[in-house]
Amino acid sequence: MGKIWSVDALAKNGSTDIFGQTTSIAESKLDENIIWVGTDDGLIQMTQDGGKNWTKFDNLPGVPEMSYVHQIVASLHDKKTAYVCFNHHRYGDFKPYLLKTDDNGVTWKSITSDLPIRGSVYSIAEDHVDKNLLFVGTEFGCFFTSNGGGNWIQLKSGLPTIAVRDIEIQRRENDLVLATFGRGFYVLDDYSPLRNIKKEDLQKEAFVSPIKDALMFVPRLPLGLRDKGHMGTSYYSAPNPEMGAVFTYYLKEDVKKLKEIRTEKEKASFEKKEKVYYPTLDSLRMEDTQDDPYLLFTIADASGNVVRHLKAPAKKGMKRMTWDLRYAPSNPVESRYIPKDDQLFGSAPQGHLIVPGFYQVTMSKYQDGVLTTLAGPVSFNAKLLNQGSLPAKSMAANVAFYKKVADLSRELSAVNDLLGKIEQRVKSAEKAILDMPAPSGELLGDLHAAIKELDPVKTKLLGDNTLSSREFETKPTINDRVFGIAYSIWNSTSDIPSTFTNSFAIAEKQYAEIYPLIKQLDTKVNMIESKLNKNKAPYTPGRWPDKN
């Protein structure tokens, strides 16, 4: 305050900076005698002989005096290289200050480049493979550069706008670990695709990055059920990465619909104070009926056979998706159960596992009925993680059986639905017969005969309701056998028990017997509905009228 105060002055030493405090120490991984030290008064000290002699660096280029040395990192690739983060926010300066030396401090250069002008830098990390790949934590998030600081790109997805105070790299898995202000931790799983990105790549329409080997396994549920099980809301639990092959892809621009294109042009015209032309009715109709565009990822095996299609929004940027190394579910598409986040029981439909081996993915754009290839194919390897107590002798043999079960379950799903609709058509036909202006005796007899044929088919397919309703034991139905097998083996990497193979053989034989019966029943109901039309009966669901 412009004068020297008495030793007895109130709070003379309270809330007062004591300069000279060491804030960061970095030892070179390449030379144990090289040590860098930063302090809170803007000084950097460096020794090349294990601490016997020190060199002081002060008044570094572009860095304000008394800037806090928040972190020093010694390069993993060159013992003469180091990076320093300075922080001057205590003086109301929130600019980023980031320096690099590659000659043991003789010269320094700023690598702040195009980092946002407001956002203090707290931490920096260097990739252990690519010396030009750097990460920095700022007051407003995390940024990376793939060209040594020439330009920076923000990492956004899943990361809030928050101060990133420390960064570590898990080298075996190439995971980026961030510690944020507020005791939070965030992990970017396998950032290795960032090593391959060049500035010119971002000018491409799209690309798919090299894909890491995918480990195939059945995820455990250590708490017995999904998420936190019955542990309660206060129990801390963080989700694991999804199992499967991770595709990292890039799309330069959004695939826009006609309405988006028109409104953007209108906005630009408004800003320039130009005339805005009203669209024609035909143009508006095209906008109203246009389908949403999307990205389609087609996965094929080494022989080129399509294994799976995955759909993603056609939005720009670098994004990720995970394929669970399974075929598509064989369940009917309109009745698939999707559990809510807080719902512990039940599960979404799931296809069976693939055969371990090499696969490839191709990225395409769907727009207005046209599918256009954008990138790929990119190959990757799916490996079985053999952690099971009873590993299968041949996963290929397992998958061959899985496919047979999936094929029959797909047919059964269709037959179950069609049989239910036939039954509903029969019930509706009975009501319509009684309301038609014609004699009903013959049609009622036909309907009665159809019902008598329907009941034994339902029993073989769905079970004997006469017995089960009275709690008597019943024989396994076709549905019981096939869907029970799928439930039991879809999440197993052990050999298929002979119990299941034998039961499946029985189901195949029984299904072959009832399939023609259902087809015949459908034909008979069609004939009844045709007679309803001739007799001018009221409409029944699923019945086509005769054209006059």
What's the pLDDT score for residue 17?
Answer: 59
Among 260-274, 351-365, 499-513, which stretch is predicted with the lowest mean pLDDT?
Answer: 260-274
Which amino acid appears at position 88 of this protein?
H
Provide mean pLDDT across the span 273-284. Answer: 85
What's the pLDDT score for residue 18?
Answer: 62
Residue 364 confidence (pLDDT) above 90: yes
Residue 289 confidence (pLDDT) above 60: yes
Residue 15 confidence (pLDDT) above 60: no
Provide mean pLDDT across the span 146-153. Answer: 89
**187-210 pLDDT, tens digit each:** 999 999 888 787 788 889 999 999
Rounded (10°) angle between helices 395-434 and 478-489 = 140
What's the pLDDT score for residue 3?
Answer: 74
83 within 8 A of 75, measured Cβ to Cβ: yes
Residue 470 confidence (pLDDT) above 60: yes
Residue 1 confidence (pLDDT) above 80: no
What's the pLDDT score for residue 19?
Answer: 65
What's the pLDDT score for residue 164?
Answer: 93
Q: By C-alpha distance, which of 82, 132, 137 is closest to 115?
A: 137
Residue 13 confidence (pLDDT) above 70: no
Residue 109 confidence (pLDDT) above 80: yes
d(CA 245, CA 324): 7
Q: Considering only residues 537 and 226, tell me which one the structure prediction assigns the higher pLDDT.
A: 537
Residue 16 confidence (pLDDT) above 70: no
**241-273 pLDDT, tens digit each:** 888 999 999 999 999 888 888 888 888 888 888
Burial state string for 56-69 with b = 16 or more CB within 10 A and e = fewer than 16: ebeebeebeeebbb
Q: Considering only residues 224 and 428, tell me which one the structure prediction assigns the higher pLDDT.
A: 428
Residue 341 confidence (pLDDT) above 80: no
Q: By C-alpha distance, which of 487, 541, 547, 478 is closest to 511?
A: 478
Residue 535 confidence (pLDDT) above 70: yes
What's the pLDDT score for residue 336?
Answer: 66
d(CA 68, CA 120): 11
**232-247 pLDDT, tens digit each:** 878 888 888 888 999 9
What's the pLDDT score for residue 206?
Answer: 93
Q: What is the DSSP letter of 353?
A: B
pLDDT level of residue 111 (50, 70, 90 thresholds): very high
Q: Considering only residues 236 and 499, tell me which one the structure prediction assigns the higher pLDDT.
A: 499
Q: By C-alpha distance, which of 116, 79, 113 is closest to 98?
A: 113
What's the pLDDT score for residue 2?
Answer: 75
- 156-163, long-range: CB < 8 A, 24+ apart: 157/319, 157/320, 158/186, 159/186, 163/122, 163/137, 163/138, 163/139
Residue 377 confidence (pLDDT) above 90: yes
Average pLDDT, the chain: 87
Provide mean pLDDT across the span 345-350. Answer: 76
What's the pLDDT score for residue 542?
Answer: 83
Q: By C-alpha distance, which of 205, 380, 377, 406 is closest to 298?
A: 377
Among 72-81, 172-181, 485-494, which stretch is predicted with the lowest mean pLDDT?
Answer: 485-494
Among 156-160, 212-216, 336-340, 484-488, which stretch is predicted with the lowest mean pLDDT?
Answer: 336-340
DSSP one-letter string for 249-317: EEESS----HHHHHHHHHHHHHHTT---PPPPHHHHHHHHHPPPPEEEEEEEETT--EEEEEEEE---E
Share of the chain above pLDDT 90, in %: 39
pLDDT level of residue 306 (50, 70, 90 thresholds): very high
Among 334-338, 421-425, 449-453, which stretch is predicted with the lowest mean pLDDT?
Answer: 334-338
Residue 204 gets the label, from left (phi > 0), alpha (psi -120 to 50) or beta, of beta
Q: How many CB atoms lie within 10 A of CB 485?
A: 24
**30-70 pLDDT, tens digit each:** 999 999 999 988 899 999 999 999 999 988 888 998 888 99
What's the pLDDT score for residue 239?
Answer: 80
**426-445 pLDDT, tens digit each:** 888 888 888 888 887 888 88
d(CA 319, CA 331): 29
197 within 8 A of 191, measured Cβ to Cβ: no
